[in-house]
Amino acid sequence: MEVTVGIPTYKNNGETIGRLLDALTKQSFKRFKILIVYKESEGDKTLDVISQFQNKLDIEIKFQKEGYFEEAMNILYSEADSDILITTDDDAIPSSIWIEDHVKLHQNFSEYGVIGPLEGNIKDTDYNLFKLAYSKIMESPLEQKMLSFNNYFAITGILVKNPFISNKYNIVKTFNPIGFNMSIKREVYEDFKLPCFTIRGIGNEPYLCLHAYRKNLPCALVNNCCKTDHIDRDSLSRPKSISGIRERFAEYMLSVYYLSKIYRLSLSKLKIDIFLKGLMWNLRANSPEEKAKIDGIRKGLNIALIAIKHNKDANWIRSRLKNL
């Protein structure tokens, strides 16, 4: 099985990507190549570090001239040509059997198009009666077979948790894997392209998994596999600043716009859903970070609804995000 490890990188001081590449020299599975999408920035040390590993690893660099995270991922999807593409971040440190784990999973589970580790608390079904009732009334799935996933896209266009599915098993279907630790079959990534309407790339994994789902190659998470350490720092998906948190949650709501191009959504139910949830969110918002989340959700939803109503394009959406 041919393997490509895809790494988008931008504004790296060389330290974290150096640790990643060093970890890749120690992999038990040796038959892989590395595809790095590099966007230049002032003071960046990425190329200097990569040069130290050129004689140890099969590395190809693609230069990103414009755009953001989605454009970088689209370069990976279009340039990769292996049986599976494993994506990771430039601040991840995989275990020595990381690639081997991913390869074995695809060999053992040919029915899944995207695979990653099941992380976090392994728990049984959430039997909170209010959550179960609310899910049935307000969060019905776009397609009934989505109810076999631990999360799904509701008729409102939002990705929601499924309270009827347990995470206690060894494998569970999902629409939301971990982007820095997922592997994708060629049949899924070879004809996939992200819409390029965000700044932080929020939602890219669910959109990929929706594409895989529609090809009957769904995404799955597997317990006890593919171990990777991830440095806790300010990043696109894990912002620390108030403005970053606001942006992140605004982008989360853009799934409404994305899904409206594929499915018929219930926008009236969406507005009721966000209003009701907003009442609870406001009661619990005791910090600037929590308030920024709520503000981002509302602003992102407003952008999505205006874009749908007036048939705005991806560039218009991105311009609105820049002025949150």
Average pLDDT over residues 240-263: 97
Count of CA atoms in the C-beta half-sphere (13 A) of 236? 22
Binned at pLDDT 50, 70 and 90, residue 130 comes out as confident
Q: What is the pTM of this model?
A: 0.95
Q: Would you give the end-to-end CA distance of the chain in angstroms?
A: 45
Q: pLDDT tens for residues 151-181?
A: 999 999 999 999 988 767 789 999 999 999 9
**Residue 78 or 170, more confident:** 78
Site of tokens 């895809």: 6
Give the count of alpha carbons within 13 A of 197, CB side only: 22
Q: Which residue has the higher pLDDT, 15 or 114?
A: 114
Which three-class secondary structure state does DSSP give residue 154? strand
Q: Where are the domains of the chain?
A: 3-120+167-230, 131-158+239-324
Q: Are the CB atoms for 222 and 117 separated by under 8 Å?
A: yes
Tokens of 57: 């690893």
Query: Is residue 123 over pLDDT 80?
Result: no
Q: Which H, E and C letters describe 58-121, residue by residue? A: CEEEEECCCCCHHHHHHHHHHHCCCCEEEECCCCEEECCCHHHHHHHHHHHCCCCCEEEECCCC
The mean per-residue pLDDT over the stretch 126-141 comes to 88
Q: Which helix (H) or strand (E) holds 33?
A: strand 32-39
- What's the confidence (pLDDT) of residue 110? 96
pLDDT number for residue 125: 55
Residues 77 and 176: beta-carbon distance below 8 Å: no
Task: Tell me the pLDDT of the chain averaged across its residues.
Answer: 94
Quote the percentage of the chain above a pLDDT of 70. 97
Q: Which CATH architecture describes the domain 3-120+167-230?
A: Alpha-Beta Complex (3.90)
Query: Which residues are within 8 A (CB) of 217 and not within 5 positions of it... i.e. 6 or more apart?
Result: 111, 112, 113, 114, 185, 187, 188
Residues 6+ apart with CB under 8 A from 65: 39
Q: How far apart are CA 97 and CA 201, in angstroms?
A: 28
Residue 132 CB-half CA count within 13 A: 7
Query: For the segment 36-61, what is each residue's pLDDT rounded down to a tens digit?
Result: 999 999 888 899 999 999 999 999 99
From residue 144, alpha-carbon distances to 140, 141, 154, 232, 268 in Å are 8, 6, 10, 37, 20
Q: Is the pLDDT of residue 122 over 80?
A: no
pLDDT score, position 13: 83
% of the chain residues with pLDDT over 90: 86
